[in-house]
Structure 1
Amino acid sequence: MYNLTLLSDGERTRIELDKQAAYTVWKVKNGKVGYEAFAELINNIDDDDERDFCEKSVTKYKHQMGVN
C-alpha cells in the first residue's frame, strides 16, 4: 500500500493525469463521449511536460482498450 501524500506534487499530478487519460479513453470506448474528449483533455493542460505525459497516457490506454 502506498501513501500518495508522500509523493511530490509532480508525481501526484502525473497519477491524476494518467487516471484522467484512462477514464477519457474508457468513456470514448463506451460511447459516453466523442473523440473530441481527447482534444478537450489535452488542450486544458497548460504545462508542456504534463501535456506530453497525458498524450502518451491516452495513446497507451487507446492501445490497451482497442480504441482507434
Structure 2
Amino acid sequence: MYNLTLLSQAEKNRIELDKQAAYTVWKVKNAKAGYEAFTEQSNNIEDDDDRDFFNQAVSKYKTKMGVK
C-alpha cells in the first residue's frame, strides 16, 4: 500500500494527469464528450512535459478502451 501524500508534487501531478486522461477517454467512449475534448484538455496544460505525458496517457487509454 502506498501513502500518496508522501509523493512529490510532480508525482502527484502526473497521477492527476493520468486520471484526467482516463476520464476524458471514458467520456468520449460513452458519448459524453466529442473528440475535441482531447485537444481542449491538452491545450490547457502549460508545461510541455506534462502535456506530452497527458497525450501519452490518452493514447494508452484509447487503446485500452478501444477508442479510435
Distance 1:52 1:35 in 2: 18
1:1-68 alignment, distance < 5 Å = 1-68=1-68
Unpaired runs of at least 5, structure 1: none
TM-score scaled by structure 2?
Answer: 0.98
CA RMSD of aligned residues (A): 0.5
Note the residue ranges of structure 2 that are not aligned, 5 or more in a row: none
- Percent identical pairs in the alignment equals 72
Query: C-alpha deviations, 1:24-67, integer Å up to 9, x for none?
Result: 00000000000000001100000000000000000000010000
What's the offset of the Cα at 1:6?
Answer: 0.2
Per-residue CA shift, 1:1-29, capped at 9, x if unaligned? 21111000000000000000000000000
Matched positions, count: 68
For the residues of structure 1 that align with 2:67 and 2:12, how far apart are their CA atoms?
Answer: 26
Letter in 1 for 2:55: E
